[in-house]
Structure 1
Amino acid sequence: MSTIRSGYRYSEDHEWLDTSASPARVGISAVAAEELGDVVHLELPEVGAEVTAGEPCGEVESTKSVADIYAPVSGTVVEINDAVLDDPAVVNEDPYGAGWLFSVEVSTEGSLLTAEEYAEKNGGELT
């Protein structure tokens, strides 16, 4: 069973948002990482890029498929995680920690679910 990080907010498209720090961090959930299989390549937005909530802003490629990464918020990308570009497997190994994707200065949030709502909808165990 996939883990769902309590305290994070989630998009319908399986991205998570951690607003406990500023700027906010974005990644993909363990549910998505498990469904995708082994992540082998990532395309992330560039630093300085404007992202729009609900719109594609990157791609994740796995041994099974290629999927869009959707921005859970609107704002400006201020940092990308170079470690996941160098070793995309980190997304599978630690999707809520070292496998974060990018940080964004949030201007507006999209439609997001609480961890409890996301777990209920997608299955998973809250941690």
Structure 2
Amino acid sequence: MKKLLLTTILLCFSTSIMAEWTQVDKRDDKGGYTVYADLQSIRKVDSEAKMWSLIDYKLEQEDTGVYFLSKKVRRKYECRSGHIKELAYKLFNWNMGGGELIRAYSQPQEWVKIEPGSVEEAEWKVACGHPALGD
């Protein structure tokens, strides 16, 4: 049991440590937040790309009864048509994906059109414009 707990703790810390977050966007709404992308996580197949993003909030956020300061999101981007689909997310009680994992959800959502000037557009440009690992 102790080995399982230790392995789980190390895995959580190593995921946060291994990611190299690159700032993609910064906004003032919701109390202010910065959006980062993990360029090493970009994977491309044909005209689609997948990437992990991190949203780091200045003020604590609330989502159906839980409070968090950062959110990691795995999204799929359709590079040609400009659509996006959320695949999974994780909420953390500390900034930059640190602290305790508060909630995790991994049920792919529907494709939606990316709005010009949105955070999603900034992420889409990075995911679709950056060479994938191994390219």
Per the TM superposition, whether the score is higher than 0.5 is no
- Larger Rg computed on CA atoms: 2
Q: Tell me the TM-score normalised to structure 2 length.
A: 0.30
Higher RCO structure (Cα 8 Å, ≥6 apart) = 1
Q: Tell me the TM-score normalised to structure 1 length.
A: 0.31
